[in-house]
């Protein structure tokens, strides 16, 4: 039996009720009552016709008979609730068994009325069903709005957090040869690395913010050493090395996962895969992965950009020098990934170039030869 829309109520925003019953006179009576109650209604004489109508129209509530030709109302009820969970269902049936009523409620019915139905009672149940639907929808919208607001505020807080960190890092670099662009690039390279390694999204974001803090401990190194032109004495280099432990102390004890990662990076970015690094002489996987990543990208960026003690090397020369550190200085697995990431790293470098020379103008550039046979020059003092 096909569906038909019966006389729409005057209010165009009035709810639409689908009356499903195999007896046409019952449908007609119910539709008349609904119309008098201010609702629009449509009719369906079978479960199939009801599903067809629901598929093509927005229906707020269904009155559902149980005894129908073909699929019964009891059978089609769960499908209606599953496909249109916001449509309320009032069961109208001649079968007045408590067991059946309970079954209908468990299948998702909002109300259960036994024929003959009193029109006032039916309209009251319809009204209450529609009220419940409105509340559920309002509640869902409210929750969605709230979630949206929380998401936006979290993003704002994160941005403020990140800006605070960058400003702190900037404060430390005023006394150092590091450029703001180097700091930013280190974060972006590390982010790229973590993504390829399949880190969870929040940790990827954490390393982008944490990596720029790798040298924050330099704030505790005396100017006379940090800004000394030329080669450092052994004792001076020992002091420079403490920028790792100073940075770690500055960043220790935070509840923030990002700052905990920053601590690990500050402490571990001069450790070496073979255990000959500093400050703890950790080896292999005892060095936190984030610190092993930053060790690689920091040296790469230092070698391929102008520094106080050396002009930028062509990338192939920088890579040749770094290659010597594969498996000794650098984690060999990460080193292989590092090579596959070079196109992205070049793009990051091109998009974040160093500012023209004012970053370097404070100090005289001294020619310190970079040994192509070792990474020492990249390590000391320019890349500490």
Would you tell me which residues interact with Fe ion (CB under 5 A)?
215, 298, 384
Considering 218, 228, 231, 276, which one is annotated as catalytic? 218
Smallest distance from the beta carbon of 234 to Fe ion, in angstroms?
Answer: 18
CA distances from 364 to 178, 293, 307 (A): 15, 31, 11
Smallest distance from the beta carbon of 135 to Fe ion, in angstroms?
Answer: 57
Q: Looking at beta carbons only, is 39 or 309 nearer to Fe ion? A: 309
- 218 flagged as catalytic: yes
Smallest distance from the beta carbon of 303 to Fe ion, in angstroms?
Answer: 11
Q: Looking at beta carbons only, is 104 or 211 nearer to Fe ion? A: 211
Q: What is the Cα–Cα distance from 178 to 323, expressed in whole angstroms?
A: 24
Q: What is the Cα–Cα distance from 330 to 268, expressed in whole angstroms?
A: 12
Burial-class residue 236 by CB neighbours within 10 Å (0-12, 13-18, 19+).
middle
Both structure tokens of 235: 């004792």
Smallest distance from the beta carbon of 295 to Fe ion, in angstroms?
Answer: 9
Q: Looking at beta carbons only, is 61 or 384 nearer to Fe ion? A: 384
Q: What is the DSSP string of 40-107?
A: EEEEESSHHHHHHHHHHS--SEEEE-S--SSS-HHHHHHHHHHH-TTSEEEEEES---HHHHHHHHHT
Q: What is the Cα–Cα distance from 188 to 177, expressed in whole angstroms?
A: 20
Smallest distance from the beta carbon of 163 to Fe ion, in angstroms?
Answer: 20
Q: Residue 141 CB: number of other CB atoms within 10 A? A: 10
Q: Looking at beta carbons only, is 179 or 206 nearer to Fe ion? A: 179
Q: Looking at beta carbons only, is 33 or 193 nearer to Fe ion? A: 193
Instruction: Give the three-state DSSP class for 17.
Output: strand
Smallest distance from the beta carbon of 152 to Fe ion, in angstroms?
Answer: 33
Q: Looking at beta carbons only, is 40 or 173 nearer to Fe ion? A: 173
Burial-class residue 377 by CB neighbours within 10 Å (0-12, 13-18, 19+).
buried
Smallest distance from the beta carbon of 166 to Fe ion, in angstroms?
Answer: 14
| Cβ within 8 Å of residue 374, ≥6 positions away | 321, 324
Q: Which residues of 302-339 are buried (b: 16+ CB within 10 A; e: fewer)?
A: bbbbbbbbbeebeeeebbebbeebbeebbbeebbeebe
Q: Residue 251 CB: number of other CB atoms within 10 A? A: 23
Q: Looking at beta carbons only, is 215 or 289 nearer to Fe ion? A: 215
List 157's β-bridge partners, or say none.
Answer: none
List phi, psi (to 5°) of 71: -65, 140
Smallest distance from the beta carbon of 250 to Fe ion, in angstroms?
Answer: 13
Q: What is the Cα–Cα distance from 332 to 51, expressed in whole angstroms?
A: 61
Q: Looking at beta carbons only, is 81 or 243 nearer to Fe ion? A: 243
Q: For residues 357 and 305, is the Cβ–Cβ distance under 8 A?
A: no
List phi, psi (to 5°) of 158: -60, -40
Active site residues: 218
């Amino acid at each position: 039996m096909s569906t038909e829309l019966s006389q729409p109520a005057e209010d165009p925003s009035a709810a639409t009720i689908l009356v499903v019953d195999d007896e046409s006179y019952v449908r007609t009576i119910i539709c008349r009552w609904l119309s008098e109650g201010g609702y629009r209604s449509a009719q369906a004489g079978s479960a199939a016709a009801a599903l067809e109508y629901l598929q093509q129209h927005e229906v707020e509530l269904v009155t559902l008979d149980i005894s129908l030709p073909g699929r019964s109302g009891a059978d089609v009820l769960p499908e209606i609730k599953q496909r249109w969970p916001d449509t309320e269902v009032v069961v109208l049936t001649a079968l007045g068994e408590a067991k059946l009523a309970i079954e209908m409620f468990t299948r998702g019915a909002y109300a259960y009325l036994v024929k003959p139905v009193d029109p006032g009672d039916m309209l009251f149940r319809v009204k209450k069903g529609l009220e419940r639907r409105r509340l559920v929808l309002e509640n869902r919208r409210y929750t969605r709005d709230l979630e949206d607001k929380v998401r936006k505020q979290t993003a704002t807080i994160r941005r403020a957090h990140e800006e605070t960190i960058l400003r702190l890092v900037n404060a430390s670099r005023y006394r150092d040869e590091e450029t703001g662009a180097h700091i930013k690039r280190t974060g972006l390279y590390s982010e790229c690395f973590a993504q390829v390694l399949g880190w969870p999204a929040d940790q990827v974001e954490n390393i982008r913010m944490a990596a720029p803090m790798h040298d924050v401990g330099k704030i505790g190194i005396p100017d006379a050493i940090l800004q000394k032109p030329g080669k450092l004495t052994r004792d001076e280099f020992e002091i420079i090395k403490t920028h790792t432990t100073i940075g770690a102390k500055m960043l220790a004890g935070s509840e923030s996962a990002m700052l905990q990662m920053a601590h690990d990076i500050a402490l571990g970015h001069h450790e070496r895969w073979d255990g000959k690094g500093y400050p703890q002489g950790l080896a292999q996987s005892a060095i936190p992965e984030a610190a092993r990543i930053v060790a690689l990208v920091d040296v790469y960026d230092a070698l391929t950009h102008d520094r106080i003690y050396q002009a930028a090397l062509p990338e192939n020369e920088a890579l040749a020098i770094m290659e010597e550190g594969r498996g000794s200085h650098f984690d060999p697995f990460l080193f292989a990934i590092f090579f596959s990431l070079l196109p992205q790293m070049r793009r990051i470098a091109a998009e974040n170039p160093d500012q023209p020379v004012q970053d370097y103008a404070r100090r005289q550039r001294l020619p310190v030869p970079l040994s192509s046979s070792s990474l020492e020059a990249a390590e000391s003092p320019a890349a500490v």
